[in-house]
Structure 1
Amino acid sequence: MPLQNSGRALALEAQHQGKPAARRRRTGALVLLVLRVAALCASAAAAALAATDGAALRRAPFRFLLAADAIVAVYSAFEAAAGAWEAAKGTTLLPEPMQLWFDFGHDQGFGYMALAAAAVAARDAASCGGAGREWGRSLGSAACARVDVAVGLGFAGFAFLALAALVTGFRVACFLATGSRFRPPSPSY
């Protein structure tokens, strides 16, 4: 049975470079796994904080923040599990091209959704506790602090997804150039 694209690239890389190449592959998978877990933690915490403030949830931007961060948390949990699988086994759950484009496209889409939700909620959170808005005066300082932290964690979730999108974008570019998600082996002279 002939080797698939990634198998051929892995065999060539193993011939040329040996064990350090396997370590680089694992390091790349672990970096992506850490970014996924960080996005999961930030977005789950943002969703939990947004859900605990009933007065703020009466406003559409905070409901959007709650929904977006909950969706990003579920996606990040799935991707963290897929990343753990890849780090442990060295293979992707889906066929390699499908997994690469799935990761890259969804990282961008969900990242921008998290950014939009945090930005809209930040605009309303800026008036929290201010004299100009009735809902801000009714919240109190502790609730305003929860709203501010939820918005900040929403932005953090976006930042981790944006970094993951950079890594997955690099992997897609490597795949398009070499037929594998890994860098081509450097020539040894």
Structure 2
Amino acid sequence: MPLQNGARAAAAEAEAQGKAAAAGPRRPGAAVVVLLLLRVAALCASAAAAALAATGGAALLGRAPFRLLLAADAIVAAYSAFEAVAAALEAAGGATLLPEPVQLWFDFGHDQGFGYMALAAAAVAARDAASCGGGGREWGSVGAGAATCARADVAVGLGFAAFAFLALAALLTGFRVACFLATGSRFAPPPSSY
């Protein structure tokens, strides 16, 4: 008895699943591990920048650019912690938390958005930190000492580092989106055998 349309489709799907099972599960490559490392580095840099800005006392928290740096880097640290967990789960099991296309676009868009937020906050705080310790009218009234100025400089530098790690992660997630659009998978296609 010939196969009907529904049975023919089911047989073709079963054959495709059999071939996929014979080939084995697709193991995440080095890109997932690099993405995990970038996420952890962004988490560390942004959390340290937020901690330095938060513990700077009235000399730093009394200034709007450093309150912005604190808020932006705290948000980036929370996002990076979430994404580090998601990348670790992907590296361990090969599956994403959300459906694959949603996860790829979520990662790519949020890496860019939060990266630019970290960059803007660090740039504003850097402009303000440049006048620290110079006896300027703004800082002189608060009494910023050398330790406060050093803390401000390090917080700004860590804010820029958080941006750099997120920018690199955005490049990698952009590559994953491009692979998905080209091949239907977030992994680069295997090299051709001919």
How far apart are residue 69 of structure 1 and its match? Answer: 0.1
153-162 or 177-186: bigger deviation: 177-186
Structure 1 segment 95-174 matched on structure 2, within 5 A:
95-136=99-140, 138-174=143-179
Provide the C-alpha distance between the structure 1 equivalents of 2:162 and 2:175, rounded to a whole number of angstroms. Answer: 20
* In the alignment, structure 1 residue 71 sits paired with structure 2 residue 75: yes
Distance 1:136 1:165, change over 3 A: farther
Provide the C-alpha distance between the structure 1 equivalents of 2:153 and 2:108, rounded to a whole number of angstroms. Answer: 29
How far apart are residue 56 of structure 1 and its match? Answer: 1.2
Provide the C-alpha distance between the structure 1 equivalents of 2:140 and 2:73, rounded to a whole number of angstroms. Answer: 22
Name structure 1 gaps, 5 residues minimum.
none
Which AA in structure 2 matches 1:80? A
Match of 2:187 among 154, 176, 182: 182
Which AA in structure 2 matches 1:62? F
Residue 193 of structure 2 aligns to a residue whose secondary structure is coil
Which AA in structure 2 matches 1:147? A
Provide the C-alpha distance between the structure 2 equivalents of 1:175 and 1:136, rounded to a whole number of angstroms. Answer: 55
Query: Which structure's relative contact order is higher, taking Cα pairs within 8 Å and 6+ residues apart?
Result: 1
Name structure 2 gaps, 5 residues minimum.
1-9
Residue 177 of structure 2 aligns to a residue whose secondary structure is helix
What is the TM-score of this pair, normalised by structure 2? Answer: 0.86
| Number of residues of Structure 1 aligned to a counterpart in Structure 2 | 179
Provide the C-alpha distance between the structure 2 equivalents of 1:49 and 1:38, rounded to a whole number of angstroms. Answer: 17
Which AA in structure 2 matches 1:135? W
Q: Between the two proteins, what is the percent identity of the paired residues?
A: 77
Provide the C-alpha distance between the structure 1 equivalents of 2:124 and 2:137, rounded to a whole number of angstroms. Answer: 16
Provide the C-alpha distance between the structure 1 equivalents of 2:36 and 2:140, rounded to a whole number of angstroms. Answer: 39
Could you give the per-residue CA deviations for residues 76-101 of structure 1, whole angstroms, max 9, x where no partner exists? 00000000000000010100000000
Provide the C-alpha distance between the structure 1 equivalents of 2:136 and 2:50, rounded to a whole number of angstroms. Answer: 27
Runs of 4+ in 1 over 4 A off after TM superposition: none
- Could you tell me whether the CA contact under 8 Å between 2:131 and 2:139 is conserved in 1? no
Provide the C-alpha distance between the structure 2 equivalents of 1:74 and 1:131, rounded to a whole number of angstroms. Answer: 36
Residue 139 of structure 1 aligns to a residue whose secondary structure is coil
Match of 1:83 among 64, 83, 87: 87
Provide the C-alpha distance between the structure 2 equivalents of 1:116 and 1:74, rounded to a whole number of angstroms. Answer: 18
Which AA in structure 2 matches 1:162? A
- Could you tell me whether the CA contact under 8 Å between 1:26 and 1:90 is conserved in 2? no
* Superposition RMSD in Å: 2.3
Q: Which has the larger radius of gyration?
A: 2
Match of 2:42 among 39, 42, 46: 39
